Structure 1
Amino acid sequence: MIELLEHPLSPYAQKVKIALAEKGVPFTVRTPDAMGSGATPAEFRAASPRGEVPVLFVEGTPIYDSTIILEFIEDRFPDPPLLPRDPLARAAARTIEEVCDTTYEAINWGLSEIAWFRRAEGELAEKLKAEAKGQVGRLHAWLESQLGDGPWFGGETFGWADLCVAPFVQGSAGYELAPAEGSKLADWLGRVRQRPSVAAAFKAARDSLAAMSQVAGIVERGQFKRQYRDHRLEWMIRSGGVEVVLKGLEKDNIRFNGEPSVQS
Structure 2
Amino acid sequence: MLLLYEHPLSSYAQKVKIALREKGLDFNAETPPALGSGKAEGRFAAASPRNEVPALIDGDVQIFDSTIILEYLEDKFPSPPLLPRDPAARAKARMIEEVCDTLYEAINWGLSEIRWFRRAEGEQAEQMTAIAARQTAELQAWLTEKLGAAQWFNGDSFGWADLSVAPYVNRSFHYGLGTPTDSPLATWRARIRERPSVAATFREFEAATERMGDAAGRLVSGAIRREYRDHRLEWMMKSGGVQVVLDGIAKNNIRFTWPLG
| TM-score (normalizing by structure 2) | 0.97
Partners of 1:212 and 1:25 in 2: how far apart?
A: 30
Query: What is the aligned-residue RMSD (CA, Å)?
Result: 1.1
8 Å contact kept, 2:224–2:253:
yes
Q: Which residue of 2 aligns with 1:52?
A: 52
**1:57-136 alignment runs, 5 A limit:** 57-136=57-136
Partners of 1:192 and 1:179 in 2: how far apart?
A: 15
Q: Which residue of 1 aligns with 2:2?
A: 2
Matching of residue 21 in structure 1 with residue 21 in structure 2: yes
Q: Which amino acid aligns with 2:7?
A: H
Tell me the CA shift for residue 37 of structure 1. Answer: 1.6
8 Å contact kept, 1:222–1:251:
no
Q: Which residue of 2 aligns with 1:256?
A: 256
Partners of 1:191 and 1:256 in 2: how far apart?
A: 37
Q: Which residue of 2 aligns with 1:246?
A: 246
Tell me the CA shift for residue 246 of structure 1. Answer: 0.5
Q: Which amino acid aligns with 2:107?
A: I
8 Å contact kept, 1:33–1:41:
no
Partners of 2:255 and 2:172 in 1: how far apart?
A: 24
Q: Which amino acid aligns with 2:167?
A: P
Tell me the CA shift for residue 211 of structure 1. Answer: 2.2
Q: Which residue of 2 aligns with 1:162?
A: 162
Partners of 2:19 and 2:4 in 1: how far apart?
A: 12
Tell me the CA shift for residue 184 of structure 1. Answer: 0.7
Q: Which residue of 2 aligns with 1:217?
A: 217
CA offset digits 1:162-205 (Å, max 9, x no partner): 00000000011111001233211111011011110000000011
Q: Which residue of 2 aligns with 1:138?
A: 138
8 Å contact kept, 2:179–2:185:
yes
Q: Which amino acid aligns with 1:203?
A: R
8 Å contact kept, 2:83–2:90:
yes
Q: Which runs of 4+ in 1 moved over 6 A?
A: none
| TM-score (normalizing by structure 1) | 0.96
Instruction: State the secondary structure of the residue aligned to 2:4.
Output: strand
8 Å contact kept, 2:117–2:216:
yes
Could you list the runs of 5+ residues in structure 1 that have no partner in the other structure? Answer: none
Partners of 1:94 and 1:133 in 2: how far apart?
A: 25
Instruction: State the secondary structure of the residue aligned to 1:18.
Output: helix
Could you list the runs of 5+ residues in structure 2 that have no partner in the other structure? Answer: none
Tell me the CA shift for residue 42 of structure 1. Answer: 4.8
Q: Which residue of 2 aligns with 1:181?
A: 181
Tell me the CA shift for residue 46 of structure 1. Answer: 2.0
